[in-house]
Amino acid sequence: MNRSYLERENAREKAFASIWANDLDTVFTEVADYYHRASYLASLGLWDRLQHRFVSTIDIQPGYKVLDVCAGANAIGIDLLKRQPNLDIYAVDKNAAMQKAGRDHALSGGLQIKGVLCDAHDLPFPDNYFDIVTLQWATRHLRVIKAFSEINRVLKPGGYFYNCDLSRPANKFVEDSYCVFLKACLSFISRVFNCGPASLKCRSYFVQAIRMFYSTEELSNMLSELGFCNITGNSVLGGAVAFHKARKVDSTCKCTTS
Protein backbone atom coordinates (compact mmCIF):
# COMPACT_ATOMS: atom_id res chain seq x y z
CA MET A 1 0.00 0.00 0.00
CA ASN A 2 1.28 3.46 -0.94
CA ARG A 3 2.78 5.16 2.10
CA SER A 4 0.79 8.34 1.52
CA TYR A 5 -2.49 6.43 1.89
CA LEU A 6 -1.32 4.79 5.11
CA GLU A 7 -0.28 8.17 6.48
CA ARG A 8 -3.61 9.73 5.48
CA GLU A 9 -5.54 6.92 7.12
CA ASN A 10 -3.45 7.25 10.28
CA ALA A 11 -4.13 11.00 10.32
CA ARG A 12 -7.87 10.46 9.84
CA GLU A 13 -7.86 7.84 12.59
CA LYS A 14 -6.06 10.20 14.96
CA ALA A 15 -8.39 13.11 14.18
CA PHE A 16 -11.71 11.25 14.15
CA ALA A 17 -11.39 8.05 16.22
CA SER A 18 -13.32 9.49 19.17
CA ILE A 19 -16.11 10.83 16.96
CA TRP A 20 -16.39 7.56 15.03
CA ALA A 21 -16.51 5.58 18.27
CA ASN A 22 -18.66 7.83 20.44
CA ASP A 23 -20.63 10.41 18.47
CA LEU A 24 -21.62 9.33 14.97
CA ASP A 25 -23.96 6.59 16.11
CA THR A 26 -25.84 9.13 18.23
CA VAL A 27 -25.93 11.59 15.32
CA PHE A 28 -27.55 9.06 12.98
CA THR A 29 -29.99 8.04 15.69
CA GLU A 30 -31.00 11.69 16.00
CA VAL A 31 -31.43 12.22 12.26
CA ALA A 32 -32.90 8.84 11.25
CA ASP A 33 -36.47 10.14 10.98
CA TYR A 34 -35.56 13.08 8.73
CA TYR A 35 -32.33 11.92 7.07
CA HIS A 36 -33.73 11.99 3.53
CA ARG A 37 -35.36 15.40 3.93
CA ALA A 38 -32.19 16.90 5.39
CA SER A 39 -30.05 15.38 2.63
CA TYR A 40 -32.44 16.67 -0.04
CA LEU A 41 -32.23 20.17 1.41
CA ALA A 42 -28.45 20.08 1.85
CA SER A 43 -28.00 19.05 -1.80
CA LEU A 44 -30.24 21.88 -3.02
CA GLY A 45 -32.74 19.35 -4.31
CA LEU A 46 -30.20 17.18 -6.14
CA TRP A 47 -30.20 14.25 -3.70
CA ASP A 48 -32.71 12.01 -5.47
CA ARG A 49 -31.18 12.77 -8.86
CA LEU A 50 -27.71 11.82 -7.61
CA GLN A 51 -29.10 8.67 -6.00
CA HIS A 52 -30.83 7.53 -9.17
CA ARG A 53 -27.79 8.37 -11.27
CA PHE A 54 -25.64 6.19 -9.04
CA VAL A 55 -28.11 3.30 -9.07
CA SER A 56 -28.30 3.47 -12.86
CA THR A 57 -24.58 2.57 -13.03
CA ILE A 58 -25.12 -0.73 -11.18
CA ASP A 59 -25.30 -3.75 -13.48
CA ILE A 60 -27.60 -6.43 -12.09
CA GLN A 61 -28.85 -9.83 -13.22
CA PRO A 62 -31.66 -12.04 -11.87
CA GLY A 63 -30.53 -14.09 -8.90
CA TYR A 64 -27.61 -11.85 -7.96
CA LYS A 65 -26.66 -11.75 -4.30
CA VAL A 66 -26.19 -8.09 -3.35
CA LEU A 67 -24.74 -6.49 -0.22
CA ASP A 68 -25.54 -2.85 0.57
CA VAL A 69 -23.05 -1.54 3.15
CA CYS A 70 -24.06 1.37 5.43
CA ALA A 71 -27.49 0.92 3.90
CA GLY A 72 -29.33 3.49 6.00
CA ALA A 73 -32.89 3.92 4.71
CA ASN A 74 -32.42 1.15 2.10
CA ALA A 75 -32.73 3.52 -0.85
CA ILE A 76 -30.24 1.52 -2.93
CA GLY A 77 -31.78 -1.88 -2.24
CA ILE A 78 -35.30 -0.61 -2.92
CA ASP A 79 -34.31 0.98 -6.23
CA LEU A 80 -32.50 -2.19 -7.30
CA LEU A 81 -35.48 -4.39 -6.44
CA LYS A 82 -37.74 -2.12 -8.46
CA ARG A 83 -35.45 -2.70 -11.44
CA GLN A 84 -35.00 -6.43 -10.84
CA PRO A 85 -37.29 -8.15 -8.28
CA ASN A 86 -35.31 -11.39 -8.37
CA LEU A 87 -32.39 -10.24 -6.24
CA ASP A 88 -31.18 -11.50 -2.87
CA ILE A 89 -30.31 -8.26 -1.04
CA TYR A 90 -28.61 -7.88 2.33
CA ALA A 91 -28.43 -4.47 3.99
CA VAL A 92 -25.91 -3.83 6.76
CA ASP A 93 -25.69 -0.78 8.98
CA LYS A 94 -24.11 -0.06 12.34
CA ASN A 95 -26.93 2.19 13.52
CA ALA A 96 -30.10 0.51 14.80
CA ALA A 97 -32.35 3.54 14.20
CA MET A 98 -31.25 3.91 10.58
CA GLN A 99 -31.67 0.18 10.01
CA LYS A 100 -35.19 0.30 11.44
CA ALA A 101 -36.00 3.22 9.14
CA GLY A 102 -34.66 1.20 6.21
CA ARG A 103 -36.62 -1.90 7.17
CA ASP A 104 -39.85 0.10 7.53
CA HIS A 105 -39.18 1.82 4.19
CA ALA A 106 -38.74 -1.52 2.40
CA LEU A 107 -41.73 -3.19 4.04
CA SER A 108 -43.98 -0.24 3.18
CA GLY A 109 -43.30 -1.07 -0.47
CA GLY A 110 -43.78 -4.80 0.02
CA LEU A 111 -40.07 -5.51 -0.49
CA GLN A 112 -37.85 -7.97 1.33
CA ILE A 113 -34.35 -6.84 2.28
CA LYS A 114 -32.35 -8.83 4.82
CA GLY A 115 -31.09 -6.36 7.44
CA VAL A 116 -27.99 -7.11 9.50
CA LEU A 117 -26.72 -4.85 12.28
CA CYS A 118 -22.92 -4.86 12.05
CA ASP A 119 -19.74 -2.86 11.54
CA ALA A 120 -18.65 -2.21 7.94
CA HIS A 121 -15.06 -3.01 8.96
CA ASP A 122 -15.98 -6.53 10.07
CA LEU A 123 -18.63 -8.00 7.79
CA PRO A 124 -20.23 -11.24 9.07
CA PHE A 125 -20.20 -13.02 5.71
CA PRO A 126 -17.95 -15.67 4.18
CA ASP A 127 -15.33 -15.00 1.51
CA ASN A 128 -16.44 -14.76 -2.13
CA TYR A 129 -20.14 -14.52 -1.25
CA PHE A 130 -21.67 -11.57 -3.12
CA ASP A 131 -21.98 -10.70 -6.80
CA ILE A 132 -22.29 -6.99 -6.04
CA VAL A 133 -21.45 -4.77 -3.07
CA THR A 134 -22.60 -1.15 -2.81
CA LEU A 135 -21.58 1.60 -0.41
CA GLN A 136 -23.06 5.09 -0.52
CA TRP A 137 -22.81 8.36 1.40
CA ALA A 138 -20.71 6.87 4.20
CA THR A 139 -17.17 6.16 3.00
CA ARG A 140 -15.72 9.35 4.52
CA HIS A 141 -16.85 8.11 7.95
CA LEU A 142 -14.96 4.82 7.62
CA ARG A 143 -11.43 3.52 7.91
CA VAL A 144 -11.31 3.25 4.14
CA ILE A 145 -8.52 0.72 3.65
CA LYS A 146 -10.08 -1.66 6.18
CA ALA A 147 -13.63 -1.25 4.82
CA PHE A 148 -12.60 -1.67 1.17
CA SER A 149 -10.49 -4.72 2.06
CA GLU A 150 -13.53 -6.33 3.74
CA ILE A 151 -15.64 -5.58 0.69
CA ASN A 152 -13.02 -7.17 -1.55
CA ARG A 153 -13.03 -10.24 0.70
CA VAL A 154 -16.78 -10.88 0.53
CA LEU A 155 -17.05 -10.23 -3.22
CA LYS A 156 -16.94 -13.15 -5.61
CA PRO A 157 -14.06 -13.08 -8.10
CA GLY A 158 -15.30 -10.98 -11.00
CA GLY A 159 -17.91 -9.31 -8.78
CA TYR A 160 -18.30 -5.54 -8.69
CA PHE A 161 -18.05 -2.92 -5.97
CA TYR A 162 -19.96 0.36 -6.45
CA ASN A 163 -19.14 3.33 -4.23
CA CYS A 164 -20.79 6.75 -4.06
CA ASP A 165 -19.95 9.51 -1.61
CA LEU A 166 -19.04 13.12 -1.12
CA SER A 167 -15.38 13.57 -1.97
CA ARG A 168 -12.65 16.17 -1.67
CA PRO A 169 -12.52 18.26 -4.86
CA ALA A 170 -9.08 18.07 -6.45
CA ASN A 171 -9.17 21.80 -7.21
CA LYS A 172 -8.24 23.76 -4.07
CA PHE A 173 -10.52 26.70 -4.88
CA VAL A 174 -13.47 24.36 -5.43
CA GLU A 175 -12.63 22.54 -2.18
CA ASP A 176 -12.54 25.77 -0.18
CA SER A 177 -15.77 27.04 -1.74
CA TYR A 178 -17.49 23.72 -1.15
CA CYS A 179 -16.46 23.61 2.51
CA VAL A 180 -17.73 27.16 3.08
CA PHE A 181 -21.05 26.13 1.55
CA LEU A 182 -21.17 22.93 3.58
CA LYS A 183 -20.51 24.78 6.84
CA ALA A 184 -23.30 27.28 6.14
CA CYS A 185 -25.64 24.52 5.03
CA LEU A 186 -25.10 22.48 8.19
CA SER A 187 -25.85 25.49 10.34
CA PHE A 188 -29.04 26.15 8.39
CA ILE A 189 -30.19 22.52 8.56
CA SER A 190 -29.50 22.35 12.30
CA ARG A 191 -31.97 25.21 12.79
CA VAL A 192 -34.60 23.91 10.37
CA PHE A 193 -34.71 20.43 11.90
CA ASN A 194 -33.88 21.47 15.47
CA CYS A 195 -31.00 19.00 15.54
CA GLY A 196 -29.97 17.32 18.76
CA PRO A 197 -26.77 17.97 20.72
CA ALA A 198 -24.71 15.25 19.05
CA SER A 199 -25.49 16.60 15.57
CA LEU A 200 -24.64 20.14 16.65
CA LYS A 201 -21.38 18.95 18.17
CA CYS A 202 -20.34 17.23 14.93
CA ARG A 203 -20.97 20.10 12.50
CA SER A 204 -17.28 20.96 12.25
CA TYR A 205 -16.44 17.27 11.88
CA PHE A 206 -18.53 16.93 8.71
CA VAL A 207 -16.50 19.72 7.09
CA GLN A 208 -13.15 18.42 8.32
CA ALA A 209 -14.02 14.92 7.13
CA ILE A 210 -14.14 16.30 3.58
CA ARG A 211 -10.87 18.20 4.03
CA MET A 212 -9.06 15.03 5.09
CA PHE A 213 -10.77 12.69 2.60
CA TYR A 214 -9.75 11.63 -0.92
CA SER A 215 -10.31 13.02 -4.37
CA THR A 216 -11.93 10.88 -7.06
CA GLU A 217 -8.55 9.99 -8.55
CA GLU A 218 -6.99 9.19 -5.18
CA LEU A 219 -9.81 6.81 -4.30
CA SER A 220 -9.46 5.12 -7.71
CA ASN A 221 -5.75 4.58 -7.10
CA MET A 222 -6.43 3.20 -3.62
CA LEU A 223 -8.89 0.68 -5.06
CA SER A 224 -6.22 -0.44 -7.50
CA GLU A 225 -3.65 -0.88 -4.73
CA LEU A 226 -6.16 -2.93 -2.73
CA GLY A 227 -6.46 -5.45 -5.56
CA PHE A 228 -9.45 -4.26 -7.56
CA CYS A 229 -9.31 -3.91 -11.34
CA ASN A 230 -11.32 -2.35 -14.18
CA ILE A 231 -11.75 0.73 -12.01
CA THR A 232 -13.73 3.76 -13.14
CA GLY A 233 -14.08 6.94 -11.10
CA ASN A 234 -16.43 9.73 -12.15
CA SER A 235 -16.49 13.16 -10.55
CA VAL A 236 -19.80 14.99 -10.21
CA LEU A 237 -20.46 18.61 -9.22
CA GLY A 238 -16.84 19.66 -9.64
CA GLY A 239 -15.53 16.71 -7.65
CA ALA A 240 -17.80 17.23 -4.63
CA VAL A 241 -19.36 13.82 -5.35
CA ALA A 242 -17.65 10.74 -6.77
CA PHE A 243 -18.99 7.50 -8.26
CA HIS A 244 -16.66 4.49 -8.39
CA LYS A 245 -17.01 1.07 -9.96
CA ALA A 246 -14.36 -1.61 -9.38
CA ARG A 247 -14.11 -5.31 -10.10
CA LYS A 248 -12.63 -8.00 -7.87
CA VAL A 249 -9.75 -9.61 -9.70
CA ASP A 250 -10.39 -12.89 -11.49
CA SER A 251 -8.72 -14.70 -14.38
CA THR A 252 -10.31 -12.40 -16.99
CA CYS A 253 -9.70 -9.10 -15.23
CA LYS A 254 -7.97 -6.29 -17.12
CA CYS A 255 -6.09 -4.11 -14.66
CA THR A 256 -7.15 -0.63 -15.74
CA THR A 257 -8.03 2.57 -13.92
CA SER A 258 -9.84 5.54 -15.43
Expressed as residue numbers, the domain containing 182 is: 3-248
The model's pLDDT over 12-21, given as tens digits with 9 standing for 90+, comes to 999 999 999 9
Q: How far is Cα 55 from Cα 53, in angstroms, rounded to an integer?
A: 6
Q: How far is Cα 128 from Cα 244, in angstroms, rounded to an integer?
A: 20
Is 199 among the domain residues? Answer: yes
The model's pLDDT over 178-190, given as tens digits with 9 standing for 90+, comes to 999 999 998 888 8
Is 59 among the domain residues? Answer: yes
Predicted confidence (pLDDT) at residue 157 exceeds the cutoff of 90: yes
Is 138 among the domain residues? Answer: yes
Q: Across residues 148-158, what is the average pLDDT?
A: 97
Q: How far is Cα 114 from Cα 111, in angstroms, rounded to an integer?
A: 10
When divided into structural domains, the chain yields a total of 1
The model's pLDDT over 171-224, given as tens digits with 9 standing for 90+, comes to 999 999 999 999 999 888 888 888 888 888 899 999 999 999 999 999 999 999
- What's the helix, strand, coil split of the chain in %, to 5? 50, 20, 30
Looking up residue 62, the CATH number of its domain turns out to be: 3.40.50.150
Q: 3-state class of 140 per DSSP?
A: helix
- Residue 122 makes CB contacts below 8 A (sequence gap 6+) with 150
Q: State the amino acid at position 42 in one-letter form.
A: A
Assessment of whether the complete model's pTM goes beyond 0.85: yes
Nearest Cα to 50, choosing from 61, 60, 39?
39
